């Protein structure tokens, strides 16, 4: 994969000249092991990445969150960690525990809770600033390791299989929920996981569609602080593409098993994009295609509720 030396990549290179922890982890990423499954014609990569242990096994219950210092607040960040101001009340930092060759964290300047709707305008603006990158969001109950501090993450475009698969999927495998010149919306039932995708050249139509999605999803999951969703967004040739992955569960049963039955996998946006992260060698070695199918089935929204969600968006 070609990595362009744009201002974000240059920021990372500069950062790694003065921050040993980060530099070491990016160097190790070059040696990281990956393998690829082809399941039903779809690609799932598995990455063995021991540095992601703290994220995969993060305790995100209220008591644990309240007991720790927020690592995204400026007063608590490591002295070596620099930031770029993106405008829109968001900063850009180098993520020192990378999955992507350029892995960035984009926290809000203020310590406010992880919620998608109030951050949508910023999301569209940030993604437009970051062509050649994808920007992603993990909900407070499905993957965000700082559910108390609003943030996105970003990595270079082209790494997650969903980006290329979407081009053929939308022609063959999706149901079209809405079609017009400025906005198309598709739903995908049989893409191993459930996915709703939209393509638009209008920030306002994009925001309205995601708001409709959240409003209707909230009726299905009223008990949640926010309906469980992971989101990926890219911007290219004047258009945004947004993939929404509605969930019903944070961690699969395998996560809580013991001994050889355990698989320490805590799926979030990157996994839903088609790259499973295994922080432990034994999980990387033993994971099978049927584990992946089973994990997606457990954590994705069920058929019945997905049907309800699709209908409400189409209307």
- Is 4 an interacting residue with respect to Zn ion (CB under 5 A)? no
- Is 151 an interacting residue with respect to Zn ion (CB under 5 A)? no
The distance of closest approach from Cβ of residue 110 to Zn ion in the complex, given in angstroms and rounded to an integer, is 8
Instruction: Determine contact, residues 106/92, Cβ cutoff 8 Å.
Output: yes
Which lies closer to Zn ion via its Cβ, residue 91 or residue 220? 91
The distance of closest approach from Cβ of residue 73 to Zn ion in the complex, given in angstroms and rounded to an integer, is 3
- Is 73 an interacting residue with respect to Zn ion (CB under 5 A)? yes
Which lies closer to Zn ion via its Cβ, residue 90 or residue 284? 90
Residue that has been written with the tokens 């600033």 in this structure: 129
Instruction: Determine contact, residues 275/99, Cβ cutoff 8 Å.
Output: yes
C-alpha distances in angstroms, 175 versus 203, 204, 272, 311, 314?
23, 23, 19, 11, 10
What is the C-alpha to C-alpha distance for residues 278 and 288, in angstroms, rounded to an integer?
12
Instruction: Determine contact, residues 15/22, Cβ cutoff 8 Å.
Output: yes
Residue that has been written with the tokens 């355990």 in this structure: 262
- Is 72 an interacting residue with respect to Zn ion (CB under 5 A)? yes
Residue of 101, 111, 115, 170 that binds Zn ion (CB under 5 A): 111
Which lies closer to Zn ion via its Cβ, residue 13 or residue 73? 73
Phi then psi for 265, rounded to 5 degrees? -130, 125
The distance of closest approach from Cβ of residue 126 to Zn ion in the complex, given in angstroms and rounded to an integer, is 18
- Is 115 an interacting residue with respect to Zn ion (CB under 5 A)? no
Residue of 45, 149, 151, 310 that binds Zn ion (CB under 5 A): 149
The distance of closest approach from Cβ of residue 269 to Zn ion in the complex, given in angstroms and rounded to an integer, is 20
Instruction: Determine contact, residues 133/156, Cβ cutoff 8 Å.
Output: yes
The distance of closest approach from Cβ of residue 140 to Zn ion in the complex, given in angstroms and rounded to an integer, is 13
Q: In what order do the strands lie in the sheet with 175-179?
A: 84-85, 91-94, 103-107, 151-156, 133-138, 229-236, 239-246, 193-200, 183-191, 175-179
- Is 65 an interacting residue with respect to Zn ion (CB under 5 A)? no
247 DSSP assignment: B
Residue of 70, 84, 109, 205 that binds Zn ion (CB under 5 A): 70
The distance of closest approach from Cβ of residue 79 to Zn ion in the complex, given in angstroms and rounded to an integer, is 17
- Is 106 an interacting residue with respect to Zn ion (CB under 5 A)? no
Which lies closer to Zn ion via its Cβ, residue 111 or residue 239? 111
Q: Which residue is nearest to Zn ion (CB)?
A: 70
Nearest Cα neighbor of 264 from 20, 23, 48 is: 48
Could you tell me how many residues of this chain bind Zn ion (CB under 5 A)?
5
- Is 77 an interacting residue with respect to Zn ion (CB under 5 A)? no
Interface residue list for Zn ion (CB under 5 A)? 70, 72-73, 111, 149
């Amino acid at each position: 994969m070609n990595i362009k030396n744009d201002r974000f990549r240059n920021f990372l290179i500069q950062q790694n000249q003065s921050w040993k922890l980060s530099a070491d982890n990016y160097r190790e990423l070059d040696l990281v092991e990956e393998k690829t499954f082809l399941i039903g014609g779809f690609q799932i990569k598995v990455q063995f990445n021991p540095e992601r242990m703290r994220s995969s096994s993060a305790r995100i219950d209220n008591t644990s969150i309240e007991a720790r210092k927020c690592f995204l607040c400026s007063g608590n960040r490591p002295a070596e960690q620099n930031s770029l101001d993106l405008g829109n009340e968001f900063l850009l930092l180098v993520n020192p525990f990378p999955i992507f060759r350029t892995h960035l964290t984009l926290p809000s300047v203020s310590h406010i809770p992880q919620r998608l709707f109030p951050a949508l305008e910023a999301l569209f603006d940030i993604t437009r600033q970051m062509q050649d990158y994808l920007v992603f969001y993990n909900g407070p109950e499905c993957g965000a390791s700082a559910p108390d501090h609003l943030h996105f993450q970003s990595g270079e475009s082209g790494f997650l299989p969903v980006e290329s698969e979407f081009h053929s999927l939308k022609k063959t495998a999706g149901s079209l929920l809405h079609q017009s010149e400025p906005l198309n919306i598709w739903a995908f039932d049989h893409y191993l996981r459930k996915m709703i995708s939209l393509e638009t050249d209008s920030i306002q139509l994009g925001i309205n569609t995601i708001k409709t999605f959240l409003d209707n999803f909230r009726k299905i999951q009223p008990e949640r602080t926010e309906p469980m969703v992971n989101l990926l967004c890219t911007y290219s040739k004047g258009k945004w593409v947004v993939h929404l992955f509605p969930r019903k569960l944070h961690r699969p049963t395998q996560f809580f098993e013991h001994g050889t039955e355990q698989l320490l996998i805590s799926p979030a946006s990157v996994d839903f994009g088609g790259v499973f992260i295994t922080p432990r060698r034994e999980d990387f070695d033993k994971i099978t295609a049927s584990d992946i199918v089973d994990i997606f089935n457990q954590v994705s929204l069920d058929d019945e509720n997905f049907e309800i969600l699709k209908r409400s968006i189409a209307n």
